[in-house]
Chain A
Amino acid sequence: MSSVASAPLPAPRAGERAGALARLAASPMLRFLARRILVAIPVLWGVTFLTFVVINHLPGNAAQQLLGINATKVEVHQLSAKLGLDKPLLTRYGDWLHGLVTGSLGHSLASGQSVTSILGSDLPITFELLAFAFIISLGLAVPIALLAARRPYGVFDRLSMVLSMAGLSIANYILALVLVYFFAVNLNWLPALGWVPPGKSLGGNIKTLTLPAVSIAVSLLCFYTRLLRADLVQQLRSQDYVTTARAKGVGPWRIILHHVLRNSVFGLITAVALNLGTLLGVTVIIEQIFGLPGIGHELLSAINSRDIPVVEGAVFVFGLLVVLANLLADLLYATLDPRVKYGSAD
């Protein structure tokens, strides 16, 4: 589990966006970063603590769930003691925090496996699903937005705007069911459930992930298309450098691709970063529908069995990703919009 300190890693990656990177490296930015990381710690603490308290107040505990309905009070008591569930809540949370600081997320109460190994096997599936969804949505959004922005309010633009509004309005779980009905039940083209490890069969892997990834990707695609298209149109209309380039006789496609797109892409990256954190939520329902053994599915079953260490581990990872993603988004946003100063954006 990467610690909070690793937060800045994901931020700057490629080197192409030189101007922005230079701004990033300026020292107020670093100070800003350090502050953001510091304030992220209480957020993560709050999330894990709240979760701990909430799960503890659900009816039944892991011992009861493990033993089932027929267990006697004595048996439940004995097992609770064995699992350490009889200790006061704060002590247990303290133990968990202590474990976290020393790099251990504890062990599942149900299976005894280490939480790290459980998350280690679930996360890649969820990440692969999300990566696939991002590839589909970005891969389509950029060309569509470019075509639309080329002639604003043209036929293609209007069509894409109408369709993307429709796409934005469709719930992912409904889309998933509709896709299953047509592509799995009726046409029998793609499997409706399960997951094949890429090591076993890459083709099988892609096939099993296609419907779930598309279910997630459609709303993203529409969102990104609108976002990028709006930004492109605005820049084309209002930016001086566009006027200058036009005056110099640069062709419209060249302006869009070489100048405008490069500027607009930052907004898109900001959106992707924000989505990354929040999308983990979507995966719970999509993983349920398609029977994918990812982190969302793990969280759901752990809540049901009151398996607190697993719930805490999953929640911590989720929380960490949300915090990191928001941090990244803020950074990019701040870089883009000079009106927002680092000082005020924390």
Chain B
Amino acid sequence: MAAPTELSVPGGLEPAIIVPPPAAAGRLGRLRALGGIWLPAFLVAAILFLCFLWPLIGPVSQPTGGTILNANLPSFSSGHLLGTDSTGNDEWSRLLYGGRASLEVAMAVTALGLVIGGLLGAFAGYVGGWRDSVIMRILDVLIAFPSLVLAVAIAERLGPGEVHAIWALSFFSVPAFARIARAATLRVREQNFIVAARLSGSGYLRTLLRHVAPNIFPELITFGLLGIGITVVLEGALSFLGLGIPAPAPSWGNMIAQGEGILSAQPKFVMLPSAALFITTVSFNLLGESLRARWSDR
């Protein structure tokens, strides 16, 4: 249940969190605006590099399969920058691989939401009428459906795992994107060029794909970046409850869950993955927001 929640918050009101761009963009303003995009873009690139590429090319050991002979080494031990966990696995490599798992889930969930939810929402908003009602009611059911029930069902029935976590979370990203797409479509629907296209006899599908989609796409993709940030958090919540990616394979959520049981004795096992998750979310959110600001500027 943590899930639908946050996902749908921005859903309804997404424009609100965006800060309008500075009024008069002087030279200074332009520089700032550049920093506003390049800093988070750099962070996102660095995170993606570290989680996806660096384990392939760098001296990163496997995140599982260590030996208990190396158990519980402190940070800055030789060969183990952040030390090892209670079964002798390198904490730094667990952070990287954990991030990879978390980001894979987040990106897949966002992509599914973007494509399926985006199309559904745009269609519903564009055609209106009973079709709109039916689609939106079904999505309402999904939004109101307690994600916890679904997550338990998926974890117990199919077994916990990365693919199943993607499934569970997509149930909530699809309606969230659909709402955004529908709202955006409602806004553009009455604009002159769309009305013109419709009047000139262009078909539903054609108008939708040629005229509506390009107009709402920037908004959707921006929300997609925000969505990745949100989904990383949600995946963490799932894994935290034992319903996401199963141990011993690392994910930030299950690392936090594991560390939580010994929080007062060894806070680093909670603080490190928490910090990684936080930095990632901030980076994606900032990037999404500054892109949003740029587009709405135009």
Contact = CB atoms under 8 A, between A and B. Distances in A.
A47 B13 CA distance: 24
A169 B9 contact: no
Nearest to A341: B186
Given A168-B285, A174-B277, A322 B233 contact: no
A44 B223 CA distance: 28
B252 to A, nearest CB: 9
Contacts of A177: 256, 260, 263, 270, 274
Prevailing SS type, chain A contact patch: helix
Contacts of B90: none
Contact of B282 (A43, A54, A166, A280): A166
A178 B274 contact: yes
A340 to B, nearest CB: 7
A171 interface: yes
Interface string B91-132: 000000000000000000000000000000000000010001
Contacts of B9: 223, 274-275, 278
B281 A171 contact: yes
B148 interface: yes
A282 B148 contact: no
B141 A284 contact: no
Contacts of B152: 58, 303-304
A48 to B, nearest CB: 10
Interface stretch (B54-62, B198-206, B207-215, B235-243): B235-243
A169 B282 contact: yes
B278 interface: yes
B178 interface: no
Contacts of A267: 13, 16
B286 A165 contact: yes
Interface string A314-346: 110011001100100100000000011000101
A55 B26 CA distance: 59
Contact of A171 (B1, B22, B277): B277
A29 interface: no
B188 to A, nearest CB: 12
Contacts of A274: 8-9, 12-13
Interface string B217-231: 000000000000100
A108 interface: no
Contacts of A51: 145-146, 149
A285 B241 contact: yes
Contacts of B12: 270-271, 274, 326, 329
A54 B153 CA distance: 7
A78 interface: no
A319 B148 CA distance: 13
B240 A278 contact: no
Interface residues of A, number: 73
A227 interface: yes
A58 B23 CA distance: 56
Interface string B236-275: 1100110000000000000010001001100100110010
B144 interface: yes
Interface residues of B, number: 61
Contacts of A233: 20
A43 B144 contact: yes
B19 A170 contact: no
A171 B1 CA distance: 14
B151 to A, nearest CB: 10
Contacts of A58: 152-153, 156-157
Contact of B278 (A153, A169, A279, A280): A169
A198 B186 CA distance: 47
Contact of A279 (B5, B144, B260, B264): B5
A153 B36 CA distance: 14
A293 B201 CA distance: 60
B22 A39 contact: no
Interface of B: 1-6, 8-9, 12-13, 16-20, 22-23, 128, 132-133, 136-138, 140-141, 143-150, 152-153, 156-157, 186-187, 190, 229, 233, 236-237, 240-241, 256, 260, 263-264, 267, 270-271, 274, 277-278, 281-282, 285-286, 289
Given A57-B157, A180-B263, A274-B13, 20 more contacts: A43-B140, A46-B141, A55-B149, A55-B153, A59-B156, A161-B19, A172-B2, A185-B263, A230-B18, A230-B19, A274-B8, A278-B6, A281-B146, A282-B1, A284-B2, A285-B2, A299-B1, A300-B148, A315-B149, A319-B145
25 contacts: A43-B137, A43-B141, A51-B145, A57-B153, A58-B152, A58-B156, A58-B157, A174-B274, A177-B274, A178-B271, A226-B18, A227-B17, A230-B19, A234-B20, A267-B13, A271-B12, A280-B1, A281-B3, A281-B148, A283-B1, A314-B146, A315-B149, A318-B144, A319-B146, A322-B143
Interface of A: 39, 42-44, 46-47, 50-51, 54-55, 57-59, 152-153, 161, 165-166, 168-174, 177-178, 180-181, 185, 219, 223, 226-227, 229-231, 233-234, 237, 267, 270-271, 274-275, 277-285, 288, 296, 299-300, 303-304, 311, 314-315, 318-319, 322-323, 326, 329, 339-340, 344, 346
The 6 closest A-B pairs by CB, nearest first: A281-B1, A281-B5, A46-B141, A169-B281, A278-B5, A227-B16
